[in-house]
Homo-oligomer: A and B are copies of this chain.
Amino acid sequence: MVAITNMQKLGAAATLTLLTCSQGLLMEASKEGGHYPYNVATVPLMSELMKFFLSAILLYKAHNRDPKGTQMTTDWKSVLLFPIPSVIYLFHNNVQFYTMAYVDAATYQILGNLKIVTTGALFYIALKRHLSRIQWLALVLLMAGATTSQISSNGGGTLQAPIQGYMLGIVSACLSATAGVYTEFLMKKNNDNLYFQNLQLYGFGTIFNAIRLTVDDYNSSYENGFWLSTGLRGWNTITWLIAINFAFSGLFVSWIMKFADTIVKVYATSSAMLLTALLSVWFFDLEPTLQLFLGILIACISINLYFMPNDSPPPPPAPVVTKDEEEVDRAR
């Protein structure tokens, strides 16, 4: 396993931040007359397909170059672990749907920040990964900063949703954390080649997305035809850019899960939200709010604290004395 430093993690987070941020801006730019001219659900399917074929090509090349070094576990017990993230996201989407029935959009967005802390907790509990006290405080800060930036200026800011809304928000945050932490477990559980793991992940992802489109079409009584024939209707250049962006973001997330960790992804997602809000002020000529600047300031401090070089590293392991060394010692 490649060891990576805090600075490299930070670089990975920054790249994912830029990809995610341009996603948001591209989505906004692809609208025509205020709504999307294409079926939004076909974009993830297309990007899953792109990732699947890209991973297949990369795996083929890696295997040709170094057949023995390209580890692949084809045991069914291992393969069947890969559809589970898709299943968790399915649950998650349903819980989100029910949550929206109890809380308004602004509160819903704010509740979403809970996933920062639930991910940290599950990262610690399920993956048994160490977080220093400063890193815990940094995670709580990131949540506080993200929330601060989202306080609405017009009359919002009081907590008035029914208790069910908050409970479902917490359930949603736990499911989101489970998906993230489980994916990290999946990518790191053995030294299988990253592209082989991707192949399984995106193969199942493609299947789940295809099922979803079919169910949607069935539920709408084929009002817009069947997705296989009408799926690309209304796609423009920007839509293709979005699909490509989604594909590269996804591949980058896989890389982060295997070589860095879930928390790096959490930082990237939150930073992207703040950067998108800041760029929106610029692009769409909005009035910048004090809470946005405060949120960004607090998030920057959180990043600084979380990725700070550790002052007190764990004690080095006791030196392993080999037989040869013992003999040298005796000879002295």
Contacts and interface: CB of A to CB of B under 8 A. Distances in A.
A153 B157 contact: yes
A290 interface: yes
Contact of A158 (B147, B148, B288): B288
Contacts of A147: 290, 294
A214 interface: no
A308 interface: yes
Nearest to A301: B137
A8 interface: no
B157 A156 contact: no
Interface string A299-321: 00100110010011000000000
Interface string A122-157: 000000000001100100110010011001011111
A289 interface: yes
Contacts of A294: 144, 147-148, 151
Contacts of A155: 153-155
A161 to B, nearest CB: 11
A136 to B, nearest CB: 10
Contacts of A304: 137
A19 B143 CA distance: 32
Interface of A: 110, 133-134, 137, 140-141, 144, 147-148, 151, 153-159, 287-291, 294, 297-298, 301, 304-305, 308, 311-312
Nearest to A132: B311
**Number of this chain's copies in the complex:** 2
17 contacts: A110-B290, A134-B305, A137-B301, A141-B141, A151-B291, A153-B155, A154-B154, A155-B155, A156-B290, A157-B289, A157-B291, A158-B287, A158-B288, A158-B290, A305-B305, A311-B312, A312-B312
Contact of A297 (B144, B301, B312): B144
Contacts of A298: 141, 144, 148, 298
B290 A157 contact: yes
A312 B313 CA distance: 11
Contacts of A137: 301, 304-305
A308 B133 contact: yes
A158 B297 contact: no
Residue from A133, A134, A148, A154 with most neighbouring chain B CB atoms (10 Å): A148
B297 A140 contact: yes
Contacts of A291: 148, 151, 157, 291
A290 B133 contact: no
A110 B148 CA distance: 15
A220 to B, nearest CB: 38
Contacts of A289: 157-158
